[in-house]
């Protein structure tokens, strides 16, 4: 049998990080996804799905460090059926996502607004990552890749950008899930 789930959505609460008796990290959270559709009358409706998830190991610690309520994330894993006995003695159960792969989808500006104020990161105006790219293919060969100190600059040390891949501009409202 095949059990694979891929969800893209927003966290409904902050990550809860715990450590199991063997020392392994366990992060618990919940994700909300939505599906927009039209009724027979033409009215737009949103169908929202909430699902709890568990992340184990180093990924759990990374999730706890960088993800907050409202963070956009892609989670890939498998659906599990959890069962337990509540304090009142009743049997309880729920479906949850056991995460194998996590990808943070917030943009740089979103993560900056979440309290990151780096002096040497994306906010530094002297950082070459923040500068608009010049047409580096029209530079003369003798000066290409050298900074004012005679050394290699960071753009020259990086691989050339892949020019054949088109950028896809997708609005959140266009995503079918």
CB atoms within 10 A of CB 19: 11
Question: In b/e form, how buried is each residue of 37-53, taking b as 16+ CB within 10 angstroms?
Answer: eeeeeeeeeeeeeebeb
E strand map for 15-113: 16-19, 25-38, 44-56, 72-85, 91-104
Domain ranges of the chain: 5-113
pLDDT at 69 over 90: yes
pLDDT at 3 over 90: yes
> Residue 130 — pLDDT band, cuts 50, 70, 90?
very low
Please tell me the predicted confidence (pLDDT) of residue 77.
96
Structural tokens at position 155: 């753009």
pLDDT at 172 over 90: no
Q: Are 29 and 67 in contact (CB under 8 A)?
A: yes
Average pLDDT, the chain: 75
Please tell me the predicted confidence (pLDDT) of residue 106.
81
Q: What are phi and psi of 110, to 5 degrees?
A: -65, -45
d(CA 32, CA 70): 9
Please state the rounded mean pLDDT for residues 70-82. 95
Q: Which residue has the tokens 């293919």?
A: 137
pLDDT at 140 over 80: no
Q: Are 58 and 27 in contact (CB under 8 A)?
A: no
Give me the half-sphere count of Cα atoms (radius 13 Å) on the Cβ side of residue 154: 7
- CA-nearest of 5, 8, 1, 11 to 114 is 11
pLDDT at 112 over 70: no
d(CA 34, CA 160): 38
Query: In this structure, which CATH number among 3.40.50.300, 3.40.50.720, 3.10.580.10, 2.40.50.140 belongs to the domain 5-113?
Result: 2.40.50.140
Strand partners, 91: 85
pLDDT at 129 over 90: no
């Amino acid at each position: 049998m095949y059990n694979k789930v891929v969800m893209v959505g927003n966290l409904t609460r902050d990550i809860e990080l715990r450590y199991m008796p063997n020392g392994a990290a366990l992060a618990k959270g919940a994700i909300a996804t939505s599906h927009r559709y039209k009724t027979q009358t033409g009215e737009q409706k949103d169908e929202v799905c909430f699902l709890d998830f568990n992340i184990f190991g180093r990924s759990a610690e990374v999730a706890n460090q960088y993800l907050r309520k409202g963070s956009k994330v892609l989670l890939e894993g498998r659906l599990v059926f959890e069962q337990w006995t509540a304090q009142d003695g009743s049997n309880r159960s729920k479906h949850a996502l056991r995460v194998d792969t996590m990808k943070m989808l917030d943009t740089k500006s979103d993560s900056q607004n979440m309290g990151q104020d780096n002096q040497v990161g994306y906010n530094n105006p002297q950082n070459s990552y923040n500068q608009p790219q010049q047409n580096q293919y029209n530079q003369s060969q003798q000066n290409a890749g050298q900074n004012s100190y005679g050394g290699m600059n960071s753009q020259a040390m990086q691989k050339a950008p892949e020019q054949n891949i088109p950028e896809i501009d997708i609005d959140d409202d266009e995503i079918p899930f």
